[in-house]
């Protein structure tokens, strides 16, 4: 939790919740504290704080008109597929699952609404095994790195920092200008670029020869999205969008380079992108669905 009287808290609100430098977890903490009435009244003398509280209260009223009491509990992380539990009038049998999305008016504005881990379970073969056998050796060719043990690799690759490729991951970030570990050494930059190129080629070749198990993916989407409501924030306003499950029942799909494009029961197109979340070709392969 952020200290309620800290300058940091004041900074967060003065920039409104749209500032990209603000961590999502901090945004969620602010929202939860407002709902739970844990913010000192003096804060609301600031017009931005006052407007933010008004927007949140309007959102809650749309969720549950004429409620008497409300409680917010932060969730999030890999265990949960949403950010808050909202409980009205102590009714713990009807908890509202809320997912926060910044800089969006509707779900279609967001870069992704869900990111399933271990994507190979939704495809006809294992991308992780394919990458280990066919592309990781190319990445490590002419380098000082040895191939990691296959069993270790397959067990650890879905973590953000797999121990078996720790030094390889460090090398990757040393070559990335966006990383705090950037060295500006040409050898590191070349490794970074090589990893990105190999990742792109591996994904395109894999998808070309691999089918999507869209029935299994549909079941995942229905399970994670049911009873979920979105809290969408843009330009100082908070919007409510709830879920039509028909939007997630996949009927067919086509392949486009690094993604599957699925058509749902309502005619909506879902872009199912295969990507690496912690370094291209390095760690944590997942789907990004938007």
DSSP annotation string for 187-209? HHHHHHHHHHHHHHHHHHHHHHT
The predicted structure's pLDDT at residue 78: 65
What's the CA gap between 44 and 159, in Å, rounded?
A: 41
Specify whether the backbone of 118 is left (phi greater than 0), alpha (psi in -120 to 50) or beta. left
What's the CA gap between 135 and 141, in Å, rounded?
A: 10
> Which of 188, 220, 237 shows the shortest CA–CA distance to 55?
237
What's the CA gap between 31 and 131, in Å, rounded?
A: 41
Residue with tokens 């017009």: 47
Regions of the chain short of the pLDDT cut 70: 1-24, 76-78, 108-112
Q: Exposure pattern of 44-54 as b/e (b: 16+ CB <10 Å)?
A: beeeebebbbe
Q: Residues 29, 6: contact at Cβ < 8 Å?
A: no
The predicted structure's pLDDT at residue 283: 97
The predicted structure's pLDDT at residue 5: 45
The predicted structure's pLDDT at residue 25: 76
The predicted structure's pLDDT at residue 111: 59
Question: Domain extents for the chain?
Answer: 7-102, 137-201
């Amino acid at each position: 939790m952020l200290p309620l009287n800290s300058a940091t808290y004041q900074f967060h609100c003065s920039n409104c919740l749209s500032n990209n430098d603000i961590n999502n977890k901090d945004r969620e903490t602010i929202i939860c504290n407002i709902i739970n009435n844990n913010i000192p009244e003096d804060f609301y003398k600031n017009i931005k704080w006052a407007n933010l509280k008004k927007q949140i209260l309007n959102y809650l009223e749309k969720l549950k008109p004429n409620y008497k009491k409300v409680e917010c509990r932060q969730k999030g992380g890999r265990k949960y597929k949403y950010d808050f539990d909202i409980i009205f009038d102590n009714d713990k049998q009807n908890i509202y699952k809320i997912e926060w999305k910044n800089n969006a008016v509707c779900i279609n504005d967001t870069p992704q609404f869900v990111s399933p881990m271990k994507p190979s379970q939704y495809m006809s073969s294992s991308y992780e095994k394919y990458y280990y056998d066919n592309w990781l050796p190319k990445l490590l060719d002419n380098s000082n790195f040895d191939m990691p043990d296959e069993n270790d690799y397959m067990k650890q690759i879905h973590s953000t920092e797999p121990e078996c490729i720790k030094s390889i991951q460090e090398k990757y970030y040393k070559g990335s200008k966006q990383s705090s570990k950037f060295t500006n050494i040409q050898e590191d930059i070349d490794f970074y670029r090589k990893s990105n190129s190999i990742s792109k080629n591996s994904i395109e070749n894999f998808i070309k020869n691999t089918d999507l198990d869209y029935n299994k993916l549909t079941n995942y989407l229905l399970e994670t999205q049911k009873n979920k409501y979105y809290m969408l924030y843009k330009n100082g306003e908070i919007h409510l969008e709830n879920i039509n499950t028909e939007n997630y029942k996949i009927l067919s799909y086509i392949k486009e380079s690094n993604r599957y494009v699925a058509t749902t029961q309502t005619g909506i197109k879902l872009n199912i992108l295969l990507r690496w979340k912690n370094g291209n070709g390095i760690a944590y392969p997942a789907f990004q669905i938007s």
